[in-house]
Amino acid sequence: MNDDRKKIEELVEKLNYYSFEYYNKDNSVVSDYEYDMLMQELKALERKYPQYIMPDSPTQRVGSIIMDKFPPVTHKVKMQSLQDVFDLEDVRSFVNKINEEYDVDYVVETKIDGLSVALEYENGIFVRGATRGNGIVGEDVTNNLKTIKTIPLKLPENITITVRGEVFISKENFKKLNEEKDVYEGMGNSIWEKEFGITSDQATKVFANARNAASGSLRQVNSKITAKRNLDIYIFNIQECKDREFKTHYEGLMYLKTLGFNVNPGLYKCDNVDDIIDKINLIGEQRGDLSYEMDGAVVKVNDLKIREELGETSKVPKWAVAYKYPPEAMQTKLKDIITQVGRTGVITPMAILETIRLAGSNISKATLHNFDYIKQKDIRIGDTVVVQKAGDIIPEVIESVKEKRDGTQIEVQVPTVCPVCGSQAIHDEDEVAIRCVGIECPAQQLRSIVHFASKECMDIEGFGPSLVEQLIKEKLISNIADIYYLEFNDIVDLDRLGVKSANNLLKSIIKSKENSLDRLINAFGIRHIGKNTAKLLAQNFDTLEQLQNAGLFELASINEIGEKTAFSIIDFFANPQTIDLIDKLKKAGVNMTSKRSETLDDKFYGMTFVITGTLSKPRNDFISIIQSHGGKVSTTVSKNTTYLLAGEEAGSKLSKAKQFGVSILNEEQFNDLLK
């Protein structure tokens, strides 16, 4: 055998063993550093010899190119849902009815609240994974499932088998995910569009619960995003196995463990109905301490032959039932309501409570969602309120107990100014959020500064989140204008900088002063203004001052600038903090004049292009070419689209263009059009 191929196989076997021990047994066989070095060695060999890449290589878990849609998959075995019951007496009735005809034992399992999938293996190799869908047809999400480290890509036996499991995100990783989304809010659309094919709004939308997070992460059209979400899976059933037979469900699950599958740990064998009820109650008591979110307990007949005899209805099997726990809720006193300002400026109310013990943890604070929610529920300071954990994770106030009011309760006032910086707080008609519009608000410092310095804005190389946090902590900057007043001695001693990096950073800051006006407009982070709209504004106004002084009619008359966007621009430039900020930037020498020369001609004037598929150059290069010739670029195909520029692997946009009769260009035809 070729030595390099043999080395690749050895590395794959070794790394898969280390991963299995770490993710399935919580056992660190080697240090993170040693693992990373072996992984780098494998990647280097695979780059050199791609013909030797193995299907179970750990490098195949990192995510792949963007897909326009998921192909449908017809399940070999129907993926049924379960009959839900909400009373323990209904569980008793279910068991007693079966016991009248059969002498059987049962298995009780935790019902994980995630997304059900089927995993198919042929000769021990993972070949396909699909969502449940409607139970008969699901979606092929194989590439996304490969990013889940607890799914084996190769089994120790050459067996052909299909198993069913539940993809979920742990409570800890769910919390981290939403925290990361908050941090990444200021990164700008360009990064998300370039890396993942989505907008920053989509990327940073906070998930309401862990199930939505798991479902949304698994169904990303770009598996690179899925790879970053730290999803997990528990296997709970053998759908089909061509090479072995099993007498009981429990026997099958124990066999799956020997194959390396992450089998549902919340598993109990029970002989009688009282034991079943005891185990359901035990799971309920442990609910708050589990590392994952669950919403019930599943009771299943263990004997597989008897399952066949019991059969199924058109929707559910007759041999299983799912008991759903009621949400844990308790009453306590609402002592106060405080407001918090997020990094996007949204002002949210937070309930301060008399501490209670709920779902395994002490609760002294709870979300009130927004001020419309408070008004709708008529919640007042001093009320006795009912608190529950939304999705077993986030404490929320669900109602006030009005009959316990004694007249001392205080109605909540909607804030009109930011509690942090004193700027105006506005309530958008299109959303429930109340938002601080202050560009210098300390609560928004990190987000606004990171966005300002990002690549598609002022492109200040090296000015990332970690450096910004250091600069804010050391009180060297408090707003974006302060960037241009930094000196060498201010930054040379900062962590991970030094003389060379400090000099390079200052050069990058100085260079950014010469950027085009559209970059500056985009960098301000004005609501509803992205890169393309910023370019449109720079094409219509010669200077930033002209844009500052523009009225509603003048702005709204520009094609693609609606009334909502126009008001957002006016509100931004009317803010005293903005006026002060622009004055500081002007004094620092930042360019505020439009470089009209960037538009070469009006060859594409009045034309709208949509771009799809894989092209020879980055998509942004084609956008720049089109705009430099006076054309516009849209992200959606409509009857108003002039041309669709389609590369390889063009998907739904190509079909839509054909439907609307839009002219379709390949790259060669586009270049001909330029000539």
What is the b/e burial string over 410-429, where b = at least 16 CB atoms within 10 angstroms of the residue's CB?
A: eebeebeebebbebbbbbee
- Using DSSP's 3-state secondary structure scheme, residue 637 falls into coil
The answer for 79, left when phi > 0, alpha when psi is -120 to 50, beta otherwise, is beta
DSSP state of 206: P
Half-sphere exposure of 281 (CA within 13 A, CB side): 8
Catalytic residues, by residue number, are: 111
Cβ-Cβ contacts under 8 Å for 285 (sequence gap 6 or more): none
CB contact set of 313 (below 8 Å; sequence gap of 6+): none
Task: Quote the strand ranges of 201-345, DSSP E.
Answer: 232-241, 267-270, 294-301, 320-324, 329-341
* Cα gap 145→309, rounded to integer Å: 34
Angle at 489 between CA 488 and CA 494, to 5 degrees: 95
User: Which residues are CB-neighbours of 37 under 8 A, at least 6 positions away?
Assistant: none
Q: Which of 530, 551, 528 is nearest to 541 (CA)?
A: 551
The Cα 567–Cα 583 span in angstroms is 22
Phi-psi region of 649 (alpha: psi -120 to 50; beta: other; left: phi over 0): left
Radius of gyration of the CA atoms of the chain, in A = 29
Whole-angstrom CA distances from 317 to 17, 131, 219, 241, 313 are 37, 19, 27, 19, 6
Closest CA to 21 of 29, 31, 9: 29
**Non-local CB neighbours of 265 within 8 Å, separated by 6+ positions:** 234
Q: Are 648 and 614 in contact (CB under 8 A)?
A: yes
Q: State the Cα–Cα distance between residues 373 and 375, nearest whole angstrom.
A: 5
